[in-house]
Structure 1
Amino acid sequence: MNRKLLVICMTGSLIVGAGGTYIGMNKWGEHSETAANSSETVLSKVGKAYDLILNNYVEKVDRDKLEEGAIKGMLSTLEDPYSVYMDKDSAKQFEQALDSSFEGIGAEISAEDGKVIIVSPIKNSPAEKAGIKANDEIVKVDGESVEGSDLYDVTQTIRGEKGTKVKLEIVRQGLEKPLQIAVVRDEVPQITVHSSIKREGGENIGYIEITSFSEDTASEFHKALAAQEQEGIAGLILDVRGNPGGLLTSVNAILEEFVTSDKPYVQIEHRNGKTEQFYSDLKQKKDYPVVVLVDNGSASASEIMAGALKEAENYTLIGEKTFGKGTVQQAVPMEDGSKIKLTLFKWLTPDGNWIHKQGVEPNLEVEKTALYNTHPLQIENTLKREMNNEQVKYAQEILTSIGYRTDRQDGYYSSQTEIAVKAFQGSNNLPETGAIDSNTAEKMQQVVREEMQKDENDIQLQTALHYIVN
């Protein structure tokens, strides 16, 4: 019998189980009586330790902190970054992340091997505009190391009121020194579906970008797709690059437009090794080709979509290997408003593959161009001729990526670099000094962002368009 799955599946987020919410109930194959007897024995020991510390420690102990510490201690032994304790404030912030908007920097973060990692910045968010990228590692927040910190404590520190600033120290693969990036917090709108019609080879090609899977995503998607199909499209590009995941109820509803009932769109594996398969009711696939764009910022629910479309319907994935999160969590509310989010099971692709820490491989691997791999400039002192440092190197990379030729990209401020800077300044109504001050640096980064938004510079998108019409 076909079953449908209603789940929230986000990198570090809530889970609701199939057919309802299972909280403190024996739904996962465990014998409740044995578990209860074991719990009584253990809790007696924990209770004695709690009373001992609370009543006899040399200094007065905060009862709430002691309780939270005990819970965090148990969860830490799991060595699972997705099983965490959230106090009342963290739980409330977590819920707000799926609202229509929230205030913060707009980036999904996760823990991986003890490191705090950026899964992906949200489209047009302060984080994205500041130059934060997927797989950046956060090592300090406002000068304080995050080593050994709870993921949700780090999240709470980074989030804040609109207009305030947070300083992040970022380690990025391929760079010798950490980046210091200041981000001004702002309201982050959760507009999750962006659609347009592309013209290629005389054909209309539908394009729908999904930036996350929130409560309204599926309905927004259905409206966008219906409008495009009414206009007439020869193919469709689904773009989940940089999409950190979200509600599986949303991705489920979208998949039911594309995955037929011949194969499951996802499988769930329980701790006892048993698997459940979940199907749509669709009998016939689309009469036009579908291509999916993915990258290393595509995570969780995005990977469920990518895996389902690749394996169940043989649709083509173009881009880069995805993030790799293949577990499912459920958030269990406590009486005081806090929550424990616990990993309950694995999710598998239609063919039974577990992509955790592996990711989903694209059919056509296409890397982003240098334009999308530039680094933000941090101008403390004006960069000038004869200087030699990493900031000059970043500036040279930016200039080259936007069409201003330099003779080198090793960090030495050569005469040709100066000429390129003057050419850039002249083209952008700036004083042609040949030196890079804060105004020139800001304009350079603005131009990079604008160039990144142009379809002609997006080689992954261009590959998808050519693939459909050819």
Structure 2
Amino acid sequence: MRMSRFLMFVAVCAAAGGIFYFVQNGKGESAETVSGKKPIDEAYDLILEKAVHRVGGDELVEGAVRGMADVLNDPYSTYMTEEEAAAHEESLSDERVGIGAEITESRGRFIIVAPVRNSPAEKAGILPYDEIVRVDGERVDGKTMKELLSLIKGAEGTDVTLTVFRPDEDRHLEVAMKRSAIPVKTVDSRMIEKDGYQVGVVSISMFGEETAAEWEKHTKQLISQGADGFIIDVRGNPGGYLFSVSKIAGSLLREGTVFAFMQNAEGVKEPVRSEPPEDEEYGKAMRRMNTVLLQDKGSASASEVLSGALQDNGRAFIIGTVSFGKGTVQETWPLSNGGEMKLSTHKWLTPSGQWIHGKGVKPDLESEQQSLYGLPVIPVEGSFQPGDYGEDVGYAQRVLAALGYDVTREDGYYDETTLKAVERFRDNEDLDPGGAMDDSFFRALRAKVVEYKADDKNDDQLQLAVGYMKHVLKSGN
């Protein structure tokens, strides 16, 4: 199957990413009637004429199209409006225009998690925990995240002003900046030395437009630095473009190796084969490398294509947990109204013919992560006392328990054991005495999580992978 026929990219789903190939079709011409089905036309006319809740005809058509996709009861088949389709495609672009800041929503407030390095937000002085209050003078309370982002986004080079509340200084600030293109990096790497062996760790956050080029750049650099083997980390990777997976697999597999099958609704299977890198010497060096792949339940779709390809071809040892289990491929068609219809049209199978949908790729060596390492780093604020209840209290309880404090509840109710744990934590971190979960407490708690997750020694799965790699290299396999 020719690779040019496929584009696989991340689905905007709560559960996991998706796989797609995009078909370029011409826009259809409008028909004289709404549809060729009489009941649909009758319902369309009745709603426009009789319904007390007034809507436009275009909205009814979009609702009908969305409803047809919903009837399939497939979370990966859906209708996207023109705006949703554009945002979807942008999610895997190699750059995005904006201010460069990670934002989270907490109890109706929009909090800066962190500015991107060298971004307009960082250069303008935006800091973690800044709360966005206004964008260009427009208040954001009551808005959704989507509405906030639409206010912040704009053309490259245009001005935007944020009004933020900075809790550390207890004041509001107006911060002006120019929107710019923010490069999206999907690959990161580093070298770990283990008893005289050099192990290159390559982390892939998703398979975007430039991921394959980033992969080659990072792996070439690691090879030049004397890497003896590679650990590929796709934990939390929700999916991506098939051509990126193909090129990465092609750098590790022999030319023409089947790394997946595509199976249509009639059950016809077509092999997808690897293509070698243009740089032959690089390809030879890559194929000599021992490889371990790290995955978890957040590794989905195109990540599973890679892990299945390397595992079935005996090219990598898989460590971690069972992956997500996304084994369908979506095909996307543009519609005449500017929207897109996305439908699951194929299954993808591993080289051994396994359909992993709903089951996932099983690791060769199971390894669960420590609870604290798996907790997200979120900017929690507020003030809570014993007897209070809330999600932020529950988050603090889970962190305290993972840090070794004696906490009997993690459901968000601030009980006596939580109080004692908070008092001990505040004492250990040289905070003001007492049992208040206040801003200083949450900042110190977040710093502990950040510090813990930044230390590779606390990453049990990575340490197991490094140990396994050392064993393989030492044995000369």
**Fold shared per TM-score above 0.5:** yes
One-letter amino acid matched to 1:382: F
> Which residue pairs with 2:425 in the alignment?
421
Report the counterpart of residue 327 of structure 2 in structure 1. Answer: 326
Shift of 1:288: 2.5
- In the TM superposition, what are the counterparts of 1:47-446 in structure 2 within 5 Å? 48-49=41-42, 52-53=45-46, 56-58=49-51, 61-99=55-93, 100-101=95-96, 156=146, 160-162=150-152, 190-261=184-255, 263-282=257-276, 286-374=287-375, 380-383=382-385, 394-402=395-403, 405-410=404-409, 412-414=415-417, 417-418=421-422, 420-426=424-430, 430-433=431-434, 435-446=436-447
Equivalent-residue separation in structure 2 for 1:7 and 1:293 (angstroms): 24
Q: 1:316-339 CA distances to partner (integer Å, 9 max, x unpaired)?
A: 111111111111112211233211
Q: Which amino acid aligns with 2:188?
A: H
Q: Distance in 2 between matches of 1:54 and 1:196?
A: 60
SS at match of 1:323: coil
Once residues 8 and 80 of structure 2 are traced to their aligned partners in structure 1, the CA distance between those partners, rounded to angstroms, is: 17
Where 1:43 maps in the other structure, the secondary structure is coil
Structure 2 residue matching 1:79: 3-state secondary structure: coil
Residue 341 of structure 1 aligns to a residue whose secondary structure is: strand
Q: Percent identity?
A: 31
Kindly provide the CA deviation profile for residues 101-121 of structure 1, in whole angstroms up to 9, marking residues without a partner as x: 3669979xxxxxxxxxxxxx9
List per-residue Cα deviations over 1:113-166 (Å, max 9, x = no partner): xxxxxxxx99989xxx99xxxxxxxxxxx999xxxxxxxxx985685444699x
With 71-80 and 59-68 compared, the bigger mean Cα shift is at: 59-68
CA 1:353–1:421 in 2, change beyond 3 Å: closer, same or farther? same
| Offset at residue 259 of structure 1 (A) | 2.2
Shift of 1:91: 1.5
Instruction: Tell me: CA distance 1:305–1:423, structure 2 relative to 1, closer, same or farther (3 Å).
Output: same
What SS does the aligned partner of 1:198 have?
strand
The alpha carbon displacement at 1:350 in A equals 0.8
Counterpart residue type for residue 423 of structure 1 = D
Q: Specify the code of the residue in structure 2 equivalent to 1:256.
A: G
> What displacement does 1:51 show?
5.8
Q: Would the aligned equivalents of 1:11 and 1:299 in 2 still touch at CA under 8 Å? A: no
Cα distance change on mapping 1:417 and 1:122 into 2, 3 Å: closer
- C-alpha contact (below 8 Å) 1:244/1:299 kept by paired residues: yes
Q: Output the CA distance in 2 between the equivalents of 1:351 and 1:122.
A: 43
Unpaired runs of at least 5, structure 1:
26-39, 108-120, 131-141, 145-153, 166-185
Contact 2:310/2:316, CA 8 A, preserved across alignment = yes
Measure how far apart 1:459 and its partner are.
0.7
- Secondary structure of 1:321's counterpart equals coil
Q: TM-score, normalised by structure 2?
A: 0.71
Question: Structure 2 CA distance, aligned partners of 1:64 and 1:164?
Answer: 37
Structure 2 Cα separation of the partners of residues 383 and 232 of structure 1? 55
Secondary structure, in 3 states, of the residue corresponding to 2:262? Answer: strand
- 1:206 offset after TM fit, Å? 0.7
Preserved contact between residue 299 and residue 325 of structure 1 (Cα < 8 Å)? yes
Corresponding residue pairs, total: 391
Match of 1:463, SS state, is helix
Give the distance between the partners of 1:106 and 1:357, measured in 2 at CA.
31
The whole-number CA distance in structure 1 between the counterparts of 2:442 and 2:450 is 13
Q: Say yes or no: does 1:16 pair with 2:16.
A: no
* Cα shift readout 1:376-395 (whole Å, capped 9, x = no counterpart): 686643346x9898866643
For residues 76-119 of structure 1, what are the alpha-carbon distances to aligned partners after superposition, in whole Å with 9 as ceiling and x for unaligned?
A: 11111111111121112112212213669979xxxxxxxxxxxx
Q: Would the aligned equivalents of 1:54 and 1:63 in 2 still touch at CA under 8 Å?
A: no
CA contact (8 A) 2:200 2:229 kept: yes
What residue is the counterpart of 2:36 in the other structure?
A: 43
